[in-house]
Amino acid sequence: MTVPHLLPRSTATEPFAETDYPEHPYPGTRPDCSFVHLDGVGYPLLPDSTTDSGWRVRTGTRTEPCLDRWLAEHGAEPLRQRRPVLAYGSNACPEKIGWLRRNLSLTGPAVVLRAECDGMAAVWSSGLRPRDGQRPAVLAAASGVTEQHTIWYATAEQRRVLDRCEGRGKRYRLVRLHDSASIALENGRSPERVLAYTAAARGMAPLLVNGSAVRCVDLEQQQALGLSGSPAVSDGLACSEIVGEPLPA
């Protein structure tokens, strides 16, 4: 399905080091472009409907190959064999992706596409992140809200790394979002059968302050740590929890 293009076109043309976008404080920083990450480097992606994948890789040279061709050259699965996973917190940060490689054995190119998301928002969780005590984000329904996030096009192996990172079944649950038409990629298309990690336990539910969730775009990490309130009973999302392995792409 094609939807109106909302994101401003990126002007990024050169590969960048993952350290250009640090992960601390949570949720870290992210480039204003879609990109593919490998070996500590992010390569900007340019939408191009004339290619098989719909994207070209900006390598920093005159050569801008189709993303699928570039992936094949690196022994990796093409875009159509990957499953879209909404990344609305630190997993959109290049340095965090490097952390996943060093600490959880993430392998292969990580394809991260910018997206506009309608009717949902990243909000501060009622729990804290186990590894460093920072307050993480969770996803919640948000009528009338549009936010910029990213879609990981993950291989099955990469998604299992995300399972471990997110504490699937304990802190977060893996779900399929029912209304993926509310998500528009940078090239104006909507991904199908989008997965996401949402709060699995009351201790990780959206934090309600004076009865309302607090969007991450409205408050930085230092201030978020000082919030007090109560966990929401529900995140309000239209989704179905995935039991076991998701269906292949």
CA 243 – CA 238 distance, rounded (Å): 16
For the chain, what is the mean pLDDT? 94
What are 99-117's pLDDT values in tens digits? 999 999 999 999 999 999 9
Cis peptide before 27 (omega within 30 of 0): yes
- The amino acid occupying position 64 is E
Query: For residue 70, what are its two tokens?
Result: 């570039």
What is residue 211's DSSP assignment?
T
pTM over 0.75: yes
Confidence check: pLDDT of 48 > 50: yes
Contact of 62 with 40, CB cutoff 8 Å: no
Residue 70, Cβ density class (10 Å: 0-12 exposed, 13-18 middle, ≥19 buried): buried
What are 220-239's pLDDT values in tens digits? 999 999 999 999 999 999 99
Confidence check: pLDDT of 97 > 90: yes
Give the CATH number of domain 16-241. Answer: 3.10.490.10
The predicted pLDDT at position 30 comes to 96
The predicted pLDDT at position 1 comes to 36
Q: Which residues face 240 on adjacent strands? A: 176
CA 192 – CA 183 distance, rounded (Å): 9
Confidence of residue 6 (pLDDT cuts 50, 70, 90): low
